[in-house]
Structure 1
Amino acid sequence: MADKPSPHRSRRRVPTAAVAASALIALAAWAGPGTQGASAGSHIDAPSAMLDPEINAGDLYAFTSPEAPDTATLIVTYQSLSLPVDGVLPPATFGTRTRYDLNIDSRGTGRPDLTYRWTFRDEGQRQFLGVLNGQVDSVSSPNLKFKQRYTLEELRPGKPPKVLVRDAIAAPSRAGAAGMPDYEGLRREATLPVPGGGQVYTGQAADPFFNDAREMEILKSGTELPLPFSPLQGTNVTVMALQVPKKALALNGDPARNPVVGVWATAARETLNVQPGAADGARYAQVSRVGNVIVNEAFAPDNYLTPAAMLRGSPLGVLGGVADQFNTWDAAKDADNHQLIDMVTKLRGPKAFHATHPGLPAPQANPRKDMFQLLMTGLSGKARCPVGEGAACPIREDLNSQVMNADADAGAFRPAEELRLNLSTPVSRTPRKGGFLDGDPQGFPNGRRLTDDPTHVLVRVAMGEPAVKEYAPLFRFTTSGPPTKLAPTFPYLAVPHGLF
């Protein structure tokens, strides 16, 4: 039976022993042949994510659907670094007793005005090997020994949950050409309509993320790796992709008056309620969070391969440190979270880069208002950046801040780490991976398309753009786009990689 609809928000709880035990089992599976270890530019979100790969968030995408411009597409990926299984290795799975949420903030308060929630249940026994009894030509094929079903709900504060999809079968992990000769067909079958317009796909895909790991290292430590390195090519992810009418996302259902929304994804695991006086029963604790790209990976001071982690003898990151804490933080409290604000405004990379490149004086002044604006308020001349001296934000272009929404209460605006999308920006005829830095207003940080390179944008902003242009040629690295050709229509992602 699928998880029951539940209240819109719940308080954080202490994980149960069962959850901890399952995390250790997951670690063993994660460290085995089905995945590869963390490295610069990987998608290990935080040290604890190594213990629970089902909730290891990879990337979040939000963009106007190019073939259906009255809709927007939201995509979140998990289980990065999954190697092709082809029926030989364990399949990638979604977590049961887990809530996967896509949160939409249309007022700029850091609180979700709308949440899309996925919950999963297993059908059949989880298999370590031999997931097929024979050839699979349908997601409901009896030859699949193990399936996962999901329910998708729409949650709005003060309203009862609305079930959009009930107990549907997610697309399985690809199990080779012999066992699944037409994975495209399986994906089409698993792509379902959503009431009110739109569609949903839940399953596996090739990881569309691309970057040159040299960019990540400049952000993390100011260090340049000697050669290009893109560690995610050939890997897969689990995916929740949703296409919905823009009016469903916009404040008061009016994307013309209120075009900007903030998006972030969270995962919450079931925990045991141990608080005195609290009601009996299960509660859920947020254990994963992703908004803008690699915020936790690049900016948390004690994440993997950072100088602080290395000095403490923890090259894979400090368990329980800031990187882990980030995954539990409530976006509604970001404005008062000095640890988060320091993460995104007191950058290590530019100072270290300047020390080794004295002829190229990267910006030295911290706190960085431009990074605060990019990640915490969105770009607008009306936005306020209360870090350092004064409150004015340096980038005056009106692009993607909720303060631009006509019906929003400007006095209630709260900075929060969200991926902000302007629903009114026209689809670019010639998309550029550098987004707004390269004159393409539809690109990152105005949402994020699958062809955007947000790490590239963050490096260039960290080094002074758009105010200072002379550093730009240094940071035009070799990555050109997703490692596998994308599909022209929803869900746009390439089918999972296979070995055979």
Structure 2
Amino acid sequence: MNARVPGVPACAVLIALAVGVLVVPGSGPARAGSHIDAPSAMLDPEINGGDLYAFTSPEAPDTVTFITTYQSLRLPVDGVMPPSTFATKARYDLNIDTRGTGTPDLTYRWTFRDEGERKFFSVLSGRVDSLSSPNLKFKQRYTLEELRPGKPSKVLVEDGIAAPSRSGAAGMPDYTKLREQAVLSLPGGIKTYAGQAADAFFNDAREMAMLKSGVEVPLPFSPLLGTNVTAMAIQVPKKALALGGDPKRNPVLGSWATAARETLDVTRGATSGDQRAEPRYAQVSRMGHVILNEALAPDNYLTPPGLARGLVMGVPGGIADQYNTWKPADDARNEHLLKMITQLKSPPMIHALHPGLARPPGNPRKDMYELLMTGLSSKARCPVGDGTDCPIKRDLNSQLLNADADPSKFTPAEMLRLNMSTPVTGNPRKGGFLDGDPQGFPNGRRLTDDPTHVLVRVAMGEPALTQNASLFGFTLATAPPTRLEASFPYLAVPHGVI
């Protein structure tokens, strides 16, 4: 595999609507993510987060699979343009919180380095049948570390090779073989993958428009057909993830992904008269409930009022940019974030345009706070409005359900929460828990879940109100925009031109 495992020998055509995004296949990279949100991240696509998934692995139910994607809306170019790459001099972290404190109890960290040069027309010099082929003139190698507070870093993979960008049938006649070679099986039952993949983001732009502004686009469509992403996936035994190594007593974990760019701080490590320049890392991307920043930030791309400004510029340095620097431990005190979550503007507009619907709850929205900040639990408290108990009385996916977690230290924070004890269903429903499928979103997020659909329904008052079915009878997004694989890493191989 050409990896050392310790212990084991063209231009995108982008039509941006005020409340949705459509991408028409073309011949080059689009400088944007699946979340048309934070201006700074959109100008740095290698760290522009797309999606975070966390779910019990269907074919290995004693494990959990996490997938993070970046560089969304990347169009197939088959070797003509520079390859899709991960950032170097950067850190990609998957953070896991089992105690509900808003701080990681476990982090998986990927760092990448280039081997060869990123040039037009020079990625290949001939047919590539394996990741070790001399004809593969550019590749990226990565290190994967496991970090736990108070313990030394544990290197899981050193010099792993990321699956390269797909480069046409002539140069890469069997890309599936290259994908298989990029999947590494590690000691302790861990599997990992890094490389390009087809984007599986399940979303109807009509419903995104409803969530964002309350005004629907005329036709439903999936905005990501035919596009690719860079992806990191890891499959980990539940015992390695759970608090105290006991997934039965402590089945719930929270996760979020961050990317950090290397900066230079000449004061760190400085001694008297001898300044030494040491690198430090600044967080520049964050993903939890990844729809949050795109749909609810007040000043990102595609946000009325100020239509022209919202379409063209976004607001550099505004809330959408700031979100990417925030840390979950501070969320409960973050007035900007709390306003995004609890002061919804779209439900009254949706109701006004559909007067036959039941009137949605008024602000502040305790149900949205519970879903996004505490997880669903009868023990959860929602300190907004009258400050009483949270309204969705279901014990589903809050760290408050972990027997060994200290409830006095529980800190509400925006993260994707998963109850690992929920059995895998043979009939996944895109509406998750609202459709009687407790394994679905917001209980983690599977590749077949539609989180936008769920959030619109909750915004309109579900599960307390159930008279809104007429809003969702017209959709073309009934499944992920690409065929999924049956086993790890589940994502489909990247789209190609030929």
Q: Determine helix, strand or coil for the equivalent of 1:202.
A: strand
Residue pair 1:109, 1:332 contacting (<8 A) in 2 also: yes
Distance 1:135 1:266, change over 3 A: same
CA deviations 1:453-490 (Å, max 9, x no partner) are 11110111111110000013312433111122111110
> Which residue of 1 is the match for residue 82 of structure 2?
90
The correspondence for 1:494, drawn from 484, 492, 495, is 492
Q: 1:303-318 to 2 correspondence within 5 Å? A: 303-310=300-307, 312=309, 315-318=312-315
What is the CA-CA distance between 1:352 and the residue it aligns to? 2.0
The correspondence for 1:343, drawn from 334, 340, 343, is 340
Residue pair 2:100, 2:412 contacting (<8 A) in 1 also: yes
Q: 1:410-449 to 2 correspondence within 5 Å? A: 410-449=407-446
Residue pair 1:44, 1:56 contacting (<8 A) in 2 also: no
Residue pair 1:45, 1:57 contacting (<8 A) in 2 also: no
Matched, 1:292 2:284: no
CA separation in 2, counterparts of 1:70 and 1:199? 13
CA separation in 1, counterparts of 2:204 and 2:102? 31
What is the CA-CA distance between 1:240 and the residue it aligns to? 0.2
Q: 1:35-54 to 2 correspondence within 5 Å? A: 35-36=29-30, 42-54=34-46
Cα-Cα RMSD: 1.8
Q: 1:51-200 to 2 correspondence within 5 Å? A: 51-200=43-192
Distance 1:361 1:269, change over 3 A: same
The correspondence for 1:384, drawn from 381, 386, 391, is 381
> Which residue of 2 is the match for residue 208 of structure 1?
200
CA separation in 2, counterparts of 1:324 and 1:275? 26
The correspondence for 1:403, drawn from 395, 400, 404, is 400
Q: Which segments of 5 or more consecutive residues in structure 1 lack a partner in the other structure?
A: 3-31
Q: Determine helix, strand or coil for the equivalent of 2:65.
A: strand
What is the CA-CA distance between 1:264 and the residue it aligns to? 0.4
What is the CA-CA distance between 1:276 and the residue it aligns to? 8.5
CA separation in 1, counterparts of 2:118 and 2:32? 25
Residue pair 1:399, 1:446 contacting (<8 A) in 2 also: yes
Structure 1 vs Structure 2: percent identity of aligned residues? 73
Compute the TM-score of the two structures, normalised by the length of structure 2. 0.91
CA deviations 1:337-384 (Å, max 9, x no partner) are 111111111111112223333333542511111111111110010111
The correspondence for 1:393, drawn from 384, 390, 394, is 390
> Which residue of 1 is the match for residue 470 of structure 2?
473
Q: 1:8-47 to 2 correspondence within 5 Å? A: 33-36=27-30, 42-47=34-39
CA separation in 2, counterparts of 1:352 and 1:274? 51
CA separation in 2, counterparts of 1:38 and 1:188? 28
CA separation in 1, counterparts of 2:387 and 2:204? 36
Give the aligned residue type for 2:126.
Answer: G
CA separation in 1, counterparts of 2:358 and 2:422? 35
CA separation in 1, counterparts of 2:107 and 2:268? 29
Name whichever of 404-413 and 203-212 sits farther off.
Answer: 203-212
Residue pair 1:35, 1:83 contacting (<8 A) in 2 also: yes
Distance 1:308 1:158, change over 3 A: farther
What is the CA-CA distance between 1:307 and the residue it aligns to? 1.1
CA separation in 2, counterparts of 1:133 and 1:115? 38
What is the CA-CA distance between 1:314 and the residue it aligns to? 5.9
Q: Determine helix, strand or coil for the equivalent of 1:328.
A: coil
> Which residue of 2 is the match for residue 14 of structure 1?
none
CA separation in 1, counterparts of 2:80 and 2:86? 19
What is the CA-CA distance between 1:38 and the residue it aligns to? 5.8
> Which residue of 2 is the match for residue 266 of structure 1?
258
Residue pair 2:361, 2:461 contacting (<8 A) in 1 also: no
What is the CA-CA distance between 1:178 and the residue it aligns to? 1.0
The correspondence for 1:248, drawn from 236, 240, 247, is 240
What is the CA-CA distance between 1:43 and the residue it aligns to? 2.6
What is the CA-CA distance between 1:309 and the residue it aligns to? 4.9
> Which residue of 2 is the match for residue 301 of structure 1?
298
> Which residue of 2 is the match for residue 333 of structure 1?
330
CA separation in 2, counterparts of 1:37 and 1:361? 40
> Which residue of 1 is the match for residue 482 of structure 2?
484
Q: Determine helix, strand or coil for the equivalent of 2:263.
A: strand
CA deviations 1:178-200 (Å, max 9, x no partner) are 11011110011000012211200
Distance 1:171 1:277, change over 3 A: closer
Aligned length: 468
> Which residue of 2 is the match for residue 452 of structure 1?
449
CA separation in 2, counterparts of 1:141 and 1:98? 27
Give the aligned residue type for 2:38.
Answer: A
What is the CA-CA distance between 1:386 and the residue it aligns to? 0.7
Give the aligned residue type for 2:171.
Answer: G
Compute the TM-score of the two structures, normalised by the length of structure 1. 0.91
CA separation in 2, counterparts of 1:37 and 1:167? 28
> Which residue of 2 is the match for residue 324 of structure 1?
321
